[in-house]
Structure 1
């Protein structure tokens, strides 16, 4: 359970919202129980008065106070239920934001070797099902469990006040057993099933994706049917295990409800003894059993929540492992930068995990404000070297550099607006700053003609733009960033020679005072440089 602690700590950073959400759930439960209890008391009182009047005995009843209470609790239950749903679902969305930001912040620091360990389907599982199992942890598990326990204590206290201490203790004991069956009992019976279920679903999802991607090859090999049959067997195993877990959850739910009903029967039996002794009236006699029956609403949510707790713990374990693996790599032999030096690499080895080194004993010193160009043909290791300078690929050796911003060889744009993509480079940038940088990369006129201008939707991975336009948006985002060291890997991909020359000339002024390391396949693909290094393999 310690795997949940980092995420519980994150959830508890919003204590005000959690307390208010818990209060709304509690108010809803108490209103429902009070409605049932007072209704039972009122019906019994009315029946007794009716019998007395039929027997010719003078009797009176106050219709207004209990009637008003019934209306009050009926309305309050509806209002609190509505407010609870709206407020707590808003809280869950806020918690989801916190969890995703924390997760993405950790994953953004992952090395390329770590990212390559997981397939796309596995990453999809991390960012969807694993996160979803955590974002409702409060609403599905924490709040219902705490409030069910609190309401049970209140009902036991009610039993002590209305009946006697012995009845209250026996009712409390039965409710305690029901609570343990609905919570810890379910968890112990289902934790291994639910923990393995997410792994099985992830494996099935991966297999389905591979089946779709390789459908042409499977058809050519005549193995489509066999492969599909294998998928069906995997799916059958997943559904069978889920059915087994659901059956255990159902039995525990039934057991908890049975005990709650038995506690109501016991309270009714004990109440009859007190009624016969003259210490309890008939209407009060039925109040406690009906209040106990109202506890079923509080206990109904618990078995399903604890039945999925094993899967939640497994999801937290995976996410914790990914985040721990995503911590920034500590460069061996890291040193403080000398004065007026932007980057220092001494005797470093550049390599990807599981492969031979690309560079050994590599040494480089770049002065602050220097413009360095690095040229090399495809496969010479330019992008790996750029990844090392940017901190994406661990450098084995002595390495240190200033804060940097990195334009990767692959253009990366998010499915969002132009404004949102540019603000990633400088969140504080004004609209004037954005239009100015667009002018520098010759995109201002292009987007000024769009109806939404800066709020133009770029599509998935910038699909609404040409390759050259997408590259210039990515370049503009980097140029907005105030980092003193700029690493540009093939900055002018997709641009014709004339456009490249004009933008390169403007970049000289934009990058004034910054250190620039540019990597390209030829000198015509570099911005202005002070010196050039040639790579050869």
Structure 2
């Protein structure tokens, strides 16, 4: 109970004070409800007297009515939270999850599947709000009503009270068993649903590839295993709790039968009045109802707890620490001081004792084989994570002393894989500066070489780009990305192989736009095509997480036998490669083709 209430308070967030007040109101209403049932004892005793005292009987009726009316008033107040705060709690939970995702270290965010996070922010948040607004009050009733009425029965007749107590004690192990089975089961169900949501997102995004490879459809190997696991976990969870639920309900009903049987025997022995037995039976029936319901509702509580726990898991992730006293940089040189970095879950470092300086307003190229650590260097500059050893500085300021949002205000990034939102061209460019005017957006588009194309579209800048920019070509998407960077006008520009996936015509246009973008900036470019970085102020060759060579293009070519010289020779040779000419086939079965 403590665990569930703690998670509910976490989910209630800023509305926790109102939630606590509602729980107190619910508790008071439940006590009044139990007291109203207790009034039946003296009322029935009075009505079964040979000489009924009418005034006293009406007094008990009046008290019963007053208690019921007071309970009704409190229930109406209790429902206020359900109806007035459900949507507020849902919205607040999602906003807090959004803030947690925004503050979450990028390394942790990348570790989580998009579909799984969608499940947390969507379905789990709604379930949590339902638990806070509706289930909490029911939870209080299921606990309080049996406690108060059990005490009443014990006071009236300790023997019958012990029967109820024995039945409750016998049912509790089964309730705990339901909790254990449902708890672990619903956590598995929730994980399976998160995995399914993630795989569905992947399936939709990769549908063209799946169709081309014959992997689409109901039996797709990308979907079938997770859908099967989801179905099996749901079925197994329901089956595992069915027998304990039935057993707990049966024990409660048998306890009620035992109480009536013992009560009847005591009445026949004249050791208990019929009126008292009748009153105790009414109280015991109301006592048994919440206990029977609890056996069923336990599954619902455990389902809610699984959702609440997943939300708590996201909210409890600590953002990167930001010590007090950090001052924004006033210059924009970049310095790596003996930096080593290992990704979570990996044993070997991705970067090992990396040490270099990028002077302000210079261009540095990172080259080397795939997986050598080039992209990790650019991520650390944006405070994707903090290195385990060493220091990354911008303008002499240790990035670990700056908020990641502050760091990113100094940086514009152009990625190889451009992500555009399913919105207008104007909105996608304005992401860099939401308050930008139309004139500023168009100026950025002109600088990126995309304005003339946009002007030919029927809706111009109001044209929607489709999901992930699917309505545009790769070169058009890349130029919109560059327009964002122009609009942001940050002093540091990070380029992660922005022309690698483009055709030669698009590459030329994009490269011209990039040349304008980086003018007067501090630039780091990750490059695979060495011909694009011949004019760099310095080239750093990265191998196995270390910088093995550094210098200008001329310097590195002069180091014959070095890694850079070998890469240059290999790429020069590849430029002369062409498809082999297939020899004409004669004879055999080929001659039968038409």
Does 1:87 find its partner at 2:85?
yes
Out of 108, 131, 134, the residue aligned to residue 106 of structure 2 is: 108
- CA separation of 1:431/1:85 partners in 2, compared to 1, >3 Å: closer, same or farther? same
Out of 174, 178, 190, the residue aligned to residue 181 of structure 1 is: 174
Matches within 5 A, 1:83-482: 83-84=81-82, 87-88=85-86, 90-99=88-97, 101-103=99-101, 105-106=103-104, 108-110=106-108, 124-125=115-116, 127-128=118-119, 132=123, 136=127, 140=131, 144=135, 148=139, 152-153=143-144, 155-160=146-151, 164=155, 166=158, 171=164, 174-175=167-168, 178-179=171-172, 181-182=174-175, 184-189=176-181, 239=231, 242-261=234-253, 285=280, 288-296=283-291, 299=294, 302-305=297-300, 308=303, 342-345=333-336, 364-368=356-360, 370-372=361-363, 374=365, 385-391=374-380, 400-402=392-394, 403=407, 404-415=411-422, 421=428, 425=432, 430-432=435-437, 436-442=440-446, 446=454, 458-479=465-486, 481=488
Q: Which moved more, 1:83-92 or 1:408-417?
A: 83-92
Shift of 1:91: 1.7
- CA separation of 1:264/1:415 partners in 2, compared to 1, >3 Å: closer, same or farther? farther
Give the Cα separation in 1 of the matches to 2:174 and 2:132.
15
Give the Cα separation in 1 of the matches to 2:153 and 2:114.
57
Give the Cα separation in 1 of the matches to 2:226 and 2:478.
43
Structure number with the bigger relative contact order (C-alpha 8 A, sep ≥ 6) is: 1
Stretches of structure 1 lacking an aligned partner (at least 5 in a row):
329-337
Aligned residue in 1 for 2:496: 489
- CA separation of 1:319/1:180 partners in 2, compared to 1, >3 Å: closer, same or farther? farther
Shift of 1:295: 1.9
Aligned residue in 2 for 1:334: none
Q: Secondary structure at the match of 2:115?
A: helix
User: Over alpha carbons, which structure has the higher Rg?
Assistant: 2
- CA separation of 1:452/1:179 partners in 2, compared to 1, >3 Å: closer, same or farther? farther
Q: Secondary structure at the match of 1:187?
A: helix
Give the Cα separation in 2 of the matches to 1:359 and 1:45.
82
Give the Cα separation in 1 of the matches to 2:89 and 2:135.
15
- CA separation of 1:430/1:242 partners in 2, compared to 1, >3 Å: closer, same or farther? closer
Give the Cα separation in 1 of the matches to 2:354 and 2:52.
109
Shift of 1:299: 1.6
- CA separation of 1:460/1:37 partners in 2, compared to 1, >3 Å: closer, same or farther? farther
TM-superposition CA deviations, 1:41-74 (whole Å, max 9, x none): 789979997x999x99989858887668767766
Give the Cα separation in 2 of the matches to 1:33 and 1:304.
25
- CA separation of 1:43/1:451 partners in 2, compared to 1, >3 Å: closer, same or farther? farther
Give the Cα separation in 1 of the matches to 2:137 and 2:146.
14
Give the Cα separation in 2 of the matches to 1:207 and 1:459.
21
Give the Cα separation in 1 of the matches to 2:303 and 2:54.
59
Aligned residue in 1 for 2:404: none
Q: Secondary structure at the match of 2:82?
A: helix
| 8 A contact 1:406–1:486 mirrored in 2 | yes
Stretches of structure 2 lacking an aligned partner (at least 5 in a row):
322-328, 395-406, 540-551, 554-563, 568-594
Q: Secondary structure at the match of 2:333?
A: strand
Shift of 1:261: 4.1
Shift of 1:485: 2.9
Shift of 1:411: 0.9
| 8 A contact 1:343–1:400 mirrored in 2 | yes
| 8 A contact 1:36–1:290 mirrored in 2 | no
Does 1:20 find its partner at 2:40?
no
- CA separation of 1:173/1:309 partners in 2, compared to 1, >3 Å: closer, same or farther? farther
TM-superposition CA deviations, 1:353-404 (whole Å, max 9, x none): 9999999997642123x2315387xx86699625423326998996623244
Q: Provide TM-score, normalisation by structure 2.
A: 0.57
| 8 A contact 2:340–2:390 mirrored in 1 | no
- CA separation of 1:41/1:452 partners in 2, compared to 1, >3 Å: closer, same or farther? farther
Shift of 1:412: 1.7
| 8 A contact 1:29–1:298 mirrored in 2 | no
